[in-house]
Amino acid sequence: MNGKNLRIFYWVICGLMVILCVHLEWSRVKGNDELKTTATVTQSAQTVQADSVTQAGDSAHMRTPIDWHKSSETVPYPDLKTVKNFWIKVSLKHNRTYLYDGSKLLYTMYSTGGMYQKDPQTGQMKSMTPTGTFYAQAERGDTFFNQSLNEGANYWVSWKDHGTYLFHSVPTEAGGAYNAKEAAKLGKSTGSHGCIRLSIPDAKWMAANLPVGTKIVIQD
């Protein structure tokens, strides 16, 4: 191989080495970017999962852990004498009952709505608690017991069908003792036959203070 060919061969080898180095560096950078992207996606998924534990509309004063013997919040109940536009929203999905003055959230109660069953007409799962807009009724009392369901409750107030659908305490057994297994569902899952269950103090406040005619919006 003469000198000219040797120089050409040398420059070809150098060119190949440069191309190889550039390719290796590009692969390294791309790999890092993919790793960063994967880490970002994973972090976002964890954030969504963590955020889903906190229910939308919850007050900063919610009592944790949930205790059905106590009020849902650690602050006093609202004084309805100072409230101009009082209404209630119940979220069956989130197991919460929200007390509002217009658009201002006053108080949040842990609650338990009706169990979900398959609707024979639509085939869809449907809560045993009716949804829609209702109004608080005059019927209320300290205690009741439903023989057909073998279940009762304390501190009740009607919001539909005059004594059929109620706000009331966590359920009681035939002897009057609270059913601890059912009470443990409060704020966590559905479980009633259509009524809205509340903690004992929350139900007592509701039965004593809920004005007749108060708008109650129940959402799935």
pLDDT for 110-148, tens place per residue? 999 999 999 999 999 999 999 999 999 999 999 999 999
CB 52 within 8 A of CB 38: no
User: How many structural domains are present in the chain?
Assistant: 2
Do residues 93 and 137 share a domain? yes
CB 112 within 8 A of CB 192: yes
Q: Rounded to the nearest 5 degrees, what angle is found at the Cα of 200, between the Cα atoms of 65 and 147?
A: 125
Asked, for residue 104, whether it belongs to a domain, the answer is: yes
Structure tokens at 191: 């479980």
Coil, strand, or helix at residue 79? coil
Q: What are phi and psi of 117, to 5 degrees?
A: -130, 160
- 138-194: pLDDT as tens digits: 999 999 999 999 999 999 999 999 999 999 999 999 999 999 999 999 999 999 999
DSSP state of 186: T
Do residues 127 and 212 share a domain? yes
pLDDT tier, 38 (very low <50, low <70, confident <90, very high otherwise): very low
**What residues act catalytically?**
168, 195
N-terminal to C-terminal alpha carbon distance within the chain: 86
Asked, for residue 46, whether it belongs to a domain, the answer is: yes
Cα 113 off chain centre by? 12
pLDDT of 54 strictly over 70: no
pLDDT of 43 strictly over 70: no
pLDDT of 208 strictly over 60: yes
Task: Give the H or E element holding residue 13.
Answer: helix 3-53
CB 106 within 8 A of CB 76: no
Domain extent for 150: 80-219
Gyration radius of the chain's alpha carbons: 31
- 71-112: pLDDT as tens digits: 999 999 999 999 999 999 999 999 999 999 999 999 999 999
Do residues 103 and 194 share a domain? yes
CATH number of the domain residue 138 falls in: 2.40.440.10
pLDDT of 61 strictly over 80: yes
CB atoms within 10 A of CB 219: 13
Do residues 29 and 106 share a domain? no
Asked, for residue 145, whether it belongs to a domain, the answer is: yes
Q: What are phi and psi of 153, to 5 degrees?
A: -170, 170
pLDDT of 24 strictly over 70: no
Do residues 91 and 4 share a domain? no
- Between 203 and 11, the more confident residue is 203
Pairwise CA distance, residues 32 & 26, whole Å: 10
